[in-house]
Amino acid sequence: MPQIYFLCTGNACRSQMAEGFAKQLLNRTWRIESAGLETHGLNPLAVKIMAEKGIDISHQYSKLIEPTYLSHSDLVVTLCGDARDRCPMTPPTVKRIHWPLPDPASAVGDQEAVLTVFRQVRDQIEKRVAELADQLNR
Catalytic, out of 4, 35, 76, 80: 80
Is 80 one of the catalytic residues? Answer: yes
Is 13 one of the catalytic residues? Answer: no
Q: Output the CA angle 11-15-19, nearest 5 degrees.
A: 120
E strand or H helix that includes residue 21: helix 14-25
Catalytic, out of 4, 8, 25, 83: 8
- DSSP assignment of 24-91 equals HHS-TT-EEEEEESS-----HHHHHHHHTTT---TT----B--HHHHHT-SEEEE-SHHHHHHPPP--
Catalytic, out of 46, 47, 55, 87: 87
Active site residues: 8, 80, 87
